[in-house]
Every structure is written in structure tokens, then in C-alpha cells.
Structure 1
Amino acid sequence: MKLHKESKGTLTIVLIFTVVAGFFSIHYLKIWSLSVIIPLLVVLGLVLWFFRVPNRQIGDYLHDIIAPVDGKVVMIKEIEEQEVLKERCIQISIFMSPLNVHMCRYPVTGKVVYKKYHPGKYLVAWHEKSSTENERTTVAVDTANNARVVFRQIAGYVARRIVFYCNEGDEAKAGYEFGFIKFGSRMDVFLPMDTEILCKIGDKTKGGIDVIAKLKD
């Protein structure tokens, strides 16, 4: 397991603060310094845990929709997607807690045909309007069987930084990284109406591994 590249700034700040605070607590608090050092080490451990990138064997997926993140399925419903598809589709939403792996992966294989960053609010990630009102990114991929799949990173009340590395024209490969969300949030995936849904609300997903749906051949 390694640390994600997005950890550099946060980890540097936490390490410096831990070392400085630990030094002064040992110098001034003496025997009571452990009451400061132990909580600092816990915070450092949580930061390291948050930015972990587990080793996963990613398979070849053509028609499968792969879970884009680790988390919990909190919504499956039919909606009208207005930004890209402009038609009825099926939305699957996966909520990530601060303890989940936060690397974001392509849910499908194909070609990136759309990407856009939207500034916005910071409603709690499970709020229904967070998909259209919060800070977010939108990406669309056209698959080999002419399906267009849209997916969206959504910032939440705690998550204040979302990044995505893909560009229009890039080749997307299901299970491979396209972005990162810091400190808990949500991923929405918008699928054609004839998609076979294989997950249910409450399911725990493992990004890049679990198949949550299957496109029509």
C-alpha cells in the first residue's frame, strides 16, 4: 500500500505541527506531554489512513459498470440528467466517509467526451440537491457499444477539495484512477435506462473491483 500524491501538502502540515507541538510539550509539560503527543499521533495516523492507496488487481471490463469509489450505495433512482444526457437515466450514488479510500476511478471503459468543473455550495453530501448545487465535477465517457455514461464527483460539508486529472479525448479504462476527493463526499453515476442494476441501497462498494451494473450489449 502506498500514499496518494494528493497527500503531500496535508501530510507535510500535519507532520510539521506534530513535531513542533511534540517538542514544546516535552519541553514544557514534561510527564504530561503524552496527553498532547498521543492525540497528535492519532491524527497523523488518520491522515495516513485517509490517503492510502491499496493495491488492487483491476480486470478488463467492457460492459460492466465498476464501483468508482469505496463507500456505501445511498441512492438508486430514475432522474432527468440535465447537464450532459438531457434525458431520463438511472442514478447510482455512493457516499464516502472520511475513513474510506478516496481515489476516484473510471466506472466504464471508453473515451472521455466531456469534462467540466462547477463551483458551488457545500451541502452535506447525502443531501439530494448536492448533485446539482455543490462544488462538483462532471465527466462523460462514450463506451464501445455506443452508451454514454456520466459520473460526478461531489464535494460535501467536510470535503473542500476535488480534483480530476482526465481530459476530453482521453482513453478511459474501468477501475483506473481519474481523480480524488479530500475528506469524505459522494460519487454519482448516471446510466442508460436499459442498464441492468446489480447493486442495492446499503451495499458497501470497493472501487475498481465491485460490479454495480451492466450495460446492454
Structure 2
Amino acid sequence: MSLRLAPGSLPWVVTPFAASLMIYPFSTALSLIFLFVTAFMIHFHRDPERFPEGEGMLSPADGRIVEADEKHIYIFMGPMDVHVNRAPLDGVVRSVEFRGGDHSPAFRHPLKNAHSIIEIESEMGRFTLKQISGMAARRVVCWVSPGDRLRRGQRIGMIRFGSGVIVTAPPGYRIIARKGSRVRAGQTVIAELRE
């Protein structure tokens, strides 16, 4: 089994590992702390392969659903979740906008925090995906640009160190995910076509 890291993650792993090697001759304890940080960075920046569990709109993020209604779902990503975000449906990116803001806990008033807004045109209409920074998450990373054609489950970005994602369902889709459920990006079906 190979370990895949999210794009741009290598410096986050190499830096504490190099520090551990340099510090080792002077302090074994401090060197071990940096090795622990290295292990956490590898775990945090992992990017496993995912396969859809069925037809329908996929979760864009790993985590727990903290809000869900007929139109949108808010997924909170904890530090131990995979933080790579994925496209819920096939579509074309119509716009990408970054809005600055606070760095409060992501489970409270999330849209006051810095966030990106990705608008996607699917066969059933437009929907938005918002990547929200959290208290420790200071970096929202978006890998897509207007005009990009997305495949369902494709990697589109990541948020570092605790955060959240809000996604709306396009017209014609019925949200089936429920508050409190745990979901996985690119795997869990969160909405189905209306009959």
C-alpha cells in the first residue's frame, strides 16, 4: 500500500523531520517531539484513493455533518480527518472567489471566517462549495480555476488543520445525508436525483 500526500504537502513533512535530525545530537527528547510532529503531518496531509459508494452527489469533505437541510450541508473537518476536498458532481467551474475574514472555531458562524467560494455548473444546474478556514486552519488551498471541467470525486483543494465545507445541492437533487452523520470525500453519497 503506497502513501500518497496531498499536492504541496512535502515541505510540511520534511521540515519537522529535518529539525528532528539536526536536534538529535543535542536533545533526544526534543528530537522525538519533532518526529511526532512529522508523523502528525504525514497523517494530516494523507490523500487516499476514494471510490463512490453509489450514484448521486458525493460528499466534498471528510468529517461530521453539523448542519443539513433541503438546500445545503455543512461538514466540519476535525484534525484527524482527511483534508483534501473533492468535486461532488461532474461539472464546469464557473467562478472561484476568496473572501478574507476571521479564524474563529469553524463550527461557529463559519462564514465570518476566511473562505473560498467555488461555483460549479452541473447538468442539473449550478451549486456552490465553500471551503472555510478554522481557528487553526490558516490556509484554504483551491486547485481549480474558472473554466476547469471537473469529474465527480476529483480532488479540488484542501484546508489545513481543522476547518469546514458548506455545499449546496443543485436543482433536481434531494439531500439524503443527516445531521450527525460521518461522511467521506469522494465516497459518501449525500444527495440523490429527485424522482
| TM-score calculated relative to the size of structure 2 | 0.91
- Establish whether residue 69 from structure 1 lines up as the match of residue 61 from structure 2: yes
SS of 2:24's equivalent in the other structure is helix
Which of 152, 156, 159 matches 1:174? 152
Which residue in the other structure is 1:188 paired with? 166
Instruction: Note the 1:1-217 alignment, pairs <5 A.
Output: 1-25=3-27, 33=28, 35-58=29-52, 64-77=56-69, 90-127=71-108, 129-131=109-111, 133-145=112-124, 147-192=125-170, 195-216=173-194
Q: How far apart in 1 are the matches of 2:128 and 2:194?
A: 16
Q: How far apart in 2 are the matches of 1:23 and 1:208?
A: 44
Contact 2:52 2:58 in 1 (8 A): no
Shift of 1:71: 0.7
After superposition, the Cα gap between the structure-2 partners of 1:74 and 1:138, relative to the gap in structure 1 and judged at 3 Å, is same
Contact 1:67 1:207 in 2 (8 A): yes
Structure 1, unpaired ranges of 5+: 26-32, 79-89
After superposition, the Cα gap between the structure-2 partners of 1:170 and 1:186, relative to the gap in structure 1 and judged at 3 Å, is same
SS of 1:23's equivalent in the other structure is coil
Q: What number of residue pairs does the alignment pair up?
A: 193
| More displaced 10-residue stretch of structure 1: 182-191 or 36-45 | 36-45
Larger radius of gyration: 1
Q: How far apart in 2 are the matches of 1:176 and 1:158?
A: 26
After superposition, the Cα gap between the structure-2 partners of 1:144 and 1:195, relative to the gap in structure 1 and judged at 3 Å, is closer
Which has the larger share of helix?
1
SS of 1:42's equivalent in the other structure is helix
Shift of 1:75: 0.6
Identity of aligned residues (%): 28
Measured against aligned partners, the alpha-carbon deviations of 1:97-155 in whole angstroms (never above 9, x if no partner) come to: 1111111101111111121111111111001x222x2110001111113x211110000
Contact 2:20 2:32 in 1 (8 A): no
Q: CA RMSD in A?
A: 1.9
Q: How far apart in 2 are the matches of 1:201 and 1:101?
A: 19
Q: How far apart in 2 are the matches of 1:91 and 1:24?
A: 53
SS of 2:32's equivalent in the other structure is helix
